Amino acid sequence: MKIKSSVVLVTGANRGLGAAFARGLLASGAAKVYAGARDPNTVNVPGAVPVQLDVTRPEQIANLARELTDVTLLVNNAGISEMGPVLAANAVDSLQRLFDTNTIGPLRLAQAFAPVLLANGGGAVINVLSVLSWVTLPGRSGAYSASKAAGWAISNALRHELKAQGTQLLSLHAGFIDTDMTRNVPGPKSTPEEIVQQTLAALEAGESEVLADTVTRDAHRGLTAEWPVYLGARE
Ligand SMILES: NC(=O)c1ccc[n+]([C@@H]2O[C@H](COP(=O)([O-])OP(=O)(O)OC[C@H]3O[C@@H](n4cnc5c(N)ncnc54)[C@H](OP(=O)(O)O)[C@@H]3O)[C@@H](O)[C@H]2O)c1
């Protein structure tokens, strides 16, 4: 889809990748960007329209879909990260929070906005996933990876279901991005702006998936290796 003249809802647009999406979309000619945030007062993107949205609150999602009838692009960006072993006593609670925000929230948004996108000619949905949809950081990302792996499966299902109404589904997979989420993670990171630029180019090119960096492309290729990457290092 074309970004010029689009009307976009970005979830989690008050900081990090979501704020970069909102800025990038406006710079690329979007007619309007609704910046979803749990606290709309924290949105600081010139030209964006702050709207209240906690993606774990179904009634807020439903209200927004009734109000924002001009949306042509939904960017499911809001997400949380909780790290720790899946054998830890708090792992199930963590898994539930991660699924509520990273998996079920984006699905509810896609469900609520699909009729809006249809009424406006088809449009598109961008789901922000991760290289951790396919791999786990041992002892750390099991629950987060599960939420993004489920998000990947649901995105693939949505791609087919939305195709019938002319809606493009674009999944974004990336390794570390330099935001608050990775503040304490050392090592190389992409900038949010690089990720947004690639994603918007892929959207305009009609693609289904963005593999945004080398680690993501390597992991994706490694899924079919003799010792697949998702099994981790061979002892
Ligand atoms: N950073 C990375 O390395 C990386 C890599 C791959 C994928 N991702 C994914 O990229 C997306 C953006 O992450 P980020 O790096 O920009 O993280 P971030 O800087 O921590 O920002 C997360 C955003 O999500 C919002 N959010 C969290 N829970 C929410 C909820 N229940 N309802 C609405 N908004 C909520 C936050 O709002 P508040 O300010 O209210 O908390 C914030 O705006 C996430 O889906 C993340 O999983 C990140």
**In whole angstroms, what is the distance from residue 169 CA to residue 231 CA?**
28
Residue 200 within a domain: yes
Name, in order, each residue with C-beta under 8 angstroms of 195's C-beta and a sequence gap of 6 or more: 17, 20, 172, 174, 177, 212
How many domains is the chain built from? 1
The answer to whether the CB of 133 is under 6 A from ligand 1 is: no
Residue 2 within a domain: no
Residue 153 within a domain: yes
Report residue 37 as tokens.
Answer: 């945030």
pLDDT of residue 235: 64
- Pocket mutation for ligand 1, best pick of 21, 23, 38 (most atoms within 8 Å of C-beta): 38
Alpha helix ranges (H) inside 126-191? 142-163
Residue 58 within a domain: yes
Residue 185 within a domain: yes
Domain limits for position 156: 7-231
Name, in order, each residue with C-beta under 8 angstroms of 80's C-beta and a sequence gap of 6 or more: 97, 98, 101, 102
Give 10-residue mean pLDDT values along the chain (235 residues): 98 99 98 98 98 98 98 99 98 98 99 98 99 96 98 98 98 98 95 98 98 97 93 78
Ligand 1 center to residue 90 CA distance, Å?
Answer: 21
**Residue 12: how many CA atoms within 13 Å on its side-chain side?**
21
Ligand 1 center to residue 13 CA distance, Å?
Answer: 9
The CATH number linked to 76 is 3.40.50.720
**In whole angstroms, what is the distance from residue 95 CA to residue 165 CA?**
33
Residue 1 within a domain: no
Residue 105 within a domain: yes
Residue with the smallest CA separation from ligand 1 atom 37 is 12
Residue type at 126 in one-letter notation: I
**In whole angstroms, what is the distance from residue 210 CA to residue 215 CA?**
13
Residue 74 within a domain: yes
